[in-house]
Amino acid sequence: MLRLKCPYCGQMVDETELTPGGEAHLKRATQNSSDDELLDYLFNRRNPKGVHFERWRHTFGCGKWFVVARCTVTHEVFGVYKAQTLKPPKSVVDAIANRRGHETQESQ
């Protein structure tokens, strides 16, 4: 069971205090998007065997959404950061590069 540090209230939080929110950094399909772009946004998700960026909400707590960079195989966590960003912060990208090297490209 995951245990993560909420980047807003600073509390160590159990998975059972959180609500999952699927893949992070999805780009909303606008009114001009093609049908394929829309379907991609609605249904296609990455499914990496490795580092994955996912959203969690601290529902039983401060109520804020954050993003976690987690390895889907070992549950190793590379960083937890606030959701108000279009892409992972440099510190998290660096952490992944330091520990996993070759995976960085794929996870972007």
Partner 1 sequence: MSTRLVEGGRCIDRRQVVKFQFNGKQMSGFAGDSLASALLANDQHLIGRSFKYHRPRGLVASGPEEPNGLVTVGEGPSIEPNRQATMIELYEGLTASSQNHFPSLEWDVGAVADLASRFLPAGFYYKSFMRPRRAWEFLFEPMIRRAAGLGRLPRHQDESIYEHFYVHIDLLVVGGGVAGLTVAKAAADAGARVLIVEQMPHWGGRTSVDSGMIDGIDAAEWVNQLIDELASHQQVSMLNRTTAFGVYDHSYVLALERVEDHAPISGALRQRMWRMRPKCMVIATGAIERPLCFQDNDRPGVMLASGIRDYLKNFAISTGDRTVVALNNDDGYKTAMALAKAGLEVPVILDSRRPNDGDLTQQVRDLGIKIEFGRTVSSVNQSKGRIRSVRICSQVGEGATLHEVDCESLAVSGGWSPSAHLWSQGSGKLIWDEALSAFRPDLKRPPLQDDGSHNWAFTAGAASGCLPLDQTLDDACDVARAVFKRLALSGKIVRPEVEREKAEPPASTCLSPSGIKKKARAKAWVDFQNDVKVSDLDLALQEGYMSSEHAKRYTTLGMATDQGKLSNVNGLMIMAESRGVEMSEVSPTTFRPPYTPVTLGAIAGDARGSLFKPYRKTNIDEWHDKNGAYWERVGADWRRPFCYLKDGEKVREAVDREALRVRQTVGIFDSSSLGKIWVSGPDAGRFLDMLYTGVMSTLPIGRCRYGLMCNENGFLIDDGVVARIDETSFLCHTTTGGSDYIHGWMEDWLQCEWWNWKVYTANLTEQFAQIVVAGPEARKLLGKLNISDIDAASLPFMSWADRQVGAFKTRIFRVSFSGELSFEIALPADQGAELWRQIYAAGQEFDIEPYGTEALHVLRAEKGFVMIGEETDGTVTPQDLGLDWAVSKKKNDFLGKRGQKRPCLTHSDRWKFVGLETVEARAKLPVGALALGVGLDSHGFSKSIGRVTSSYHSPILNRTIALGLVENGPQRRGDILQFSTEAGPVNARIVSPVFYDPEGTQLNA
Partner 2 sequence: MPEPISDWLKSSVQRVEGRGMIMIRAEISKKSVSAAISNSFNVGFPKKCQIVSQSGRELAWMSTDECLGFLPLESVSKEIDNMHQALADEHHLVADVSALRVEFAVVGRVRDILAKGTPSDVSPKNFTLGEFRRSRIGQLSAAFWMTDEVSARILCRRSESAFMHEWLARAVQPDQAVNFFPVPDPMH
Q: Helices marked H in 1-108 — which ranges?
A: 35-43, 90-100, 103-107
Q: Are 103 and 51 in contact (CB under 8 A)?
A: yes
33 binds partner 1 (CB under 8 A): yes
41 binds partner 1 (CB under 8 A): yes
Backbone φ and ψ for 36, nearest 5 degrees, come out as -65, -40
Interface with partner 2 (CB under 8 A), residue from 26, 37, 38, 60: 60
Residue ranges binding partner 1 (CB under 8 A): 1-3, 19, 21, 28-31, 33, 35, 38, 41-42, 55, 57, 59, 63-65, 74-78, 83-84, 99
